[in-house]
Structure 1
Amino acid sequence: MGTAMNVLLIDDHPLILSAMKNIVGGLEGVQTVQGVETAYEARELLRCKAELDLVLLDLQLGDADGFDLLVEMRRDYPELPVVVVSASDRVSDVIRVLDAGAAGFVPKRASNEILFEALHLVMSGGVYVPPMPLGSADDPLDHPLSLVSYSARLRSVALPASINSREPASSTEAATSQGWAFETLGLTPRQKDVMRLLLQGATNKIIATELAISVETVKDHVATILRVLGVKTRTQAVLVIKQWQDRGLT
């Protein structure tokens, strides 16, 4: 992360807020950490043109819905990255906040090391997506675009036996499966490049510049990737690819 970074924490639980201030304040490059317990206080700080580089937002606030506040901040301060740190680890909540423009989602049960990793990734321009099991039985499935709906898509392509059985693969099998998922999708090398940049949270314009192609060409590639993955948004595509990465398939 860069130097002299100013962070705003929004959490209505005083003990958690205090603990988070200590944790985040210990990160290299963090200059100040401000903590507020209400959406009202957060709005006032932002209206006063507070010099902020990052916001960590809890979804459960006493005076506002955290999802609504996230949407509001992304609309009014689009350059300010917001990472949701929530007691929820529901797949539907992860999808919802990332679709709303959050730069990451960190469950409160995550370790300090995971939080550090997430914040470093976000401040480097990436998007942090927590590891999540496909088709988790713990997810209430009240979101029409839950990852459970993607699991059938993944199962429609035959996985290597060691992965289907969830047994550790040998070094030879691991080497053979490396890159398997992307190859099976039948994407072109350029589409694979676009997909990897999507994982970094890059916009179409940034992808176009990075790959020296037009924005319209990027849009065409993204549309193809979404169609191949059987999803409707970039966020959903990132989540599916993330699952493959966690399982050693990319």
Structure 2
Amino acid sequence: MNKFAEIAPQSRIRSVAIVDDHPLYSDALAAALSLVFPQCKVERSQTLSAAIKLVEGGFSPDLVMFDLKLPDVSGISGFQRMRAALPDTPILVISSLTSVQVVHALMEEGAAGYLPKDASAQVLRAALQDIGAGRKSLPPGYRPTAAQPEDPCQFSMQHPRLAELTPQQRRIMRLICAGKPNKQIAYELSLAEATVKAHITALLRRLGVKNRTQAAVLIEGAQGAAGATADDADAQAFLSH
């Protein structure tokens, strides 16, 4: 266990909030942290509301270790609320969900890292090293999602809700999947930015999602539907909230 102590002492981590509803796992994380950062203060919460209350009470951690599946959370919204409460604090997401789609969505939302719950002590140590040094941390072997197909008409072949998009909305959806901001989309399609925003609002409503990230995840899921696994289905259900 002393191998944890090898992390450089100049690490910026002096206090940590663990948000996890499994006491045994939370205890294990706290024990590991005490070896990695001997002087660090650790506070634990079993729900998102308790964690928010802790922050509102004056606790300002240098790191949050956050479980995605909490009793008072639906989908990705729990992370988003935690991120809003501590916008300048790195959040290491720890979850049993290991889908690339989930990892991609969380990193897009500003997570400092993502760690599977079955990760080894060595992987945990490496993640803490990275985040303690101000770097991002991703699971071993993680690769960003592949580029989306250029032909927006392919969308209608994959998912019934995608078939309902107008040609213009499909073009905009393709550019959203390419990571283009509204201003760039407006430029490339020779539209007013307000018109682009109106199209995006309409297509999000038609797809039944709340934001651009969820829309992109829906497209990714549709493109890979033929080879979808149970983990992919779980990820889709999780991200649809």
Q: Does 1:107 align with 2:116?
A: yes
Is the Cα contact below 8 Å between 1:54 and 1:82 reproduced in 2?
Answer: yes
Is the Cα contact below 8 Å between 1:106 and 1:115 reproduced in 2?
Answer: yes
Cα–Cα, structure 1 residues 4 and 128, in superposed 2: closer, same or farther, change >3 Å? closer
Cα–Cα, structure 1 residues 64 and 133, in superposed 2: closer, same or farther, change >3 Å? closer
Q: What is the correspondence of 1:118-137 to structure 2 with a 5 Å cutoff?
A: 118-132=127-141
Q: What is the correspondence of 1:157-236 to structure 2 with a 5 Å cutoff?
A: 231-232=178-179
Q: Tell me, which stretches of 5 or more residues in structure 2 are unaligned? A: 1-9, 151-174, 181-212, 217-241
Q: Distance in 2 between matches of 1:57 and 1:43?
A: 12
TM-score relative to the length of structure 1 = 0.53
- Root-mean-square deviation (CA), in Å? 3.0
Q: Does 1:62 align with 2:9?
A: no
Q: How far 1:152 moved relative to its partner?
A: 8.9
Q: Distance in 2 between matches of 1:99 and 1:4?
A: 23
Q: What is the correspondence of 1:10-89 to structure 2 with a 5 Å cutoff?
A: 10-65=19-74, 67-89=76-98
Q: Distance in 2 between matches of 1:114 and 1:120?
A: 10
* Deviation sequence 1:143-184 (CA, Å, 0-9, x none): xxx72x44999xxxxxxxxxxxxxxxxxxxxxxxxxxxxxxx
Is the Cα contact below 8 Å between 1:2 and 1:29 reproduced in 2?
Answer: no
Q: Distance in 1 between matches of 2:13 and 2:116?
A: 26
TM-score relative to the length of structure 2 = 0.54
Q: Which has the higher contact order (CA 8 A, sep 6+)?
A: 2
Q: Secondary structure at the match of 1:26?
A: helix
Q: Secondary structure at the match of 1:73?
A: helix
Q: Distance in 1 between matches of 2:140 and 2:88?
A: 26
Q: Does 1:8 align with 2:17?
A: yes
Q: Secondary structure at the match of 2:16?
A: strand
Q: Secondary structure at the match of 2:115?
A: strand
Q: Distance in 1 between matches of 2:13 and 2:92?
A: 18
Q: Distance in 1 between matches of 2:89 and 2:141?
A: 26
Q: Distance in 2 between matches of 1:100 and 1:117?
A: 22
Q: How far 1:4 moved relative to its partner?
A: 6.5
* Deviation sequence 1:79-121 (CA, Å, 0-9, x none): 1110101111110110111111100001111111111111121
Q: Tell me, which stretches of 5 or more residues in structure 1 are unaligned? A: 135-145, 154-226, 237-250
Aligned residue number for residue 97 of structure 1: 106
Q: Distance in 1 between matches of 2:85 and 2:142?
A: 34
Q: Distance in 1 between matches of 2:141 and 2:147?
A: 13
